[in-house]
């Protein structure tokens, strides 16, 4: 009996010892939980910051692309409309020969790339986009990568979008502006014989 009493006393001591540690264990779990929560919060905060940074960078890229797009359009308009005006304000036919063939007359296209001798609208039809970007007098235009091409064709009186293989009183002039070979914009007008251009589409 004394042996059993001794065993019970020993078990009781062990239980009291475990019970005495329980608050400490509970506190430890609480601290671990607190530390875990802090880590989760930190991770979430980091994730949110990363997302915000990503969103900010994306927005920045969009603004940059828009700015570049606007700049490209502005340059294209300046280059395209400038050349379109240069072409459209020339005589409808060559002042010397009066010829009706599309293209420059003899001696006007020497050397290739120099348009200083162009004196009527359709002389520019040889301007295919491979020429150096410059003013008509040869002054360089410092916009690396940009080129311009011109296409000229007779169009019908009733429909300016309909090309005529025979001479008419209407020549459609289209200037295309390229950047590094990619088309940026086209500008079109129709020049009337004896009159001003009557239609514009840029």
Q: Which is nearer to Ca ion, 129 or 167 (CB)?
A: 167
Q: In the complex, what is the shortest distance from the CB of residue 101 to Ca ion, in angstroms, rounded to a whole number?
A: 7
Cα separation, 98 vs 116, whole angstroms: 19
Using DSSP, state whether 181 is helix, strand or coil: coil
Closer residue to Ca ion (CB): 92 or 187: 92
State the minimum distance, in angstroms, from the CB of residue 104 to Ca ion: 5
Nearest to 122, CA basis, from 77, 72, 168, 177 = 168
Q: Report d(CA 23, CA 63) in Å as an integer.
A: 59
Residues near Ca ion (CB under 5 A) are 94, 105, 119-120, 122-123
Minimum Å distance from CB 163 to Ca ion?
17
Q: Which residue is nearest to Ca ion (CB)?
A: 94
Contact 141, 49 (CB under 8 A): no
| CA–CA gap between residue 42 and residue 46 (Å, rounded) | 6
d(CA 74, CA 183): 14
Nearest to Ca ion of 123, 197 (CB atom): 123
Please tell me whether the peptide bond between 160 and the residue prior to it is cis, using omega within 30 degrees of 0.
Answer: no
Could you tell me if 175 and 87 are in contact, meaning their C-beta atoms sit under 8 angstroms apart?
yes
- How many C-beta neighbours within 10 Å does residue 124 have? 25
Q: Minimum distance between the CB of residue 185 and Ca ion, rounded to whole angstroms?
A: 25
- Our CB check for Ca ion shows the closer of 107 and 181 to be 107
Q: Shortest distance, CB of residue 87 to Ca ion, whole angstroms?
A: 11
Shorter beta-carbon distance to Ca ion: residue 76 or 149? 149
Q: Which is nearer to Ca ion, 76 or 104 (CB)?
A: 104
Rounded least distance, CB 70 to Ca ion, Å: 36
């Amino acid at each position: 009996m004394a042996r059993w009493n001794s065993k019970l006393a020993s078990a009781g001591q062990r239980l009291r010892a475990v019970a005495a540690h329980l608050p400490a264990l509970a506190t430890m779990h609480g601290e671990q939980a607190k530390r875990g929560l802090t880590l989760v919060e930190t991770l979430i905060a980091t994730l949110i910051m990363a997302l915000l940074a990503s969103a900010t960078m994306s927005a920045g890229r969009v603004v940059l692309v828009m700015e570049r797009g606007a700049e490209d359009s502005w340059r294209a308009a300046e280059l395209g409309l400038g050349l379109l005006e240069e072409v459209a304000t020339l005589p409808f036919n060559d002042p010397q020969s009066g010829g009706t063939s599309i293209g420059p007359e003899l001696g006007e296209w020497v050397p290739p790339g120099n348009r200083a001798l162009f004196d009527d609208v359709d002389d520019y039809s040889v301007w295919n986009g491979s020429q150096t970007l410059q003013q008509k007098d040869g002054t360089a235009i410092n916009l690396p990568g940009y080129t311009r091409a011109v296409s000229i064709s007779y169009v019908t009186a009733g429909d300016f979008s309909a090309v005529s293989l025979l001479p008419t009183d209407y020549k459609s002039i289209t200037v295309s502006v390229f950047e590094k070979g990619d088309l940026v914009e086209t500008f079109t007008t129709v020049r009337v014989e004896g009159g001003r251009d009557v239609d514009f589409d840029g």
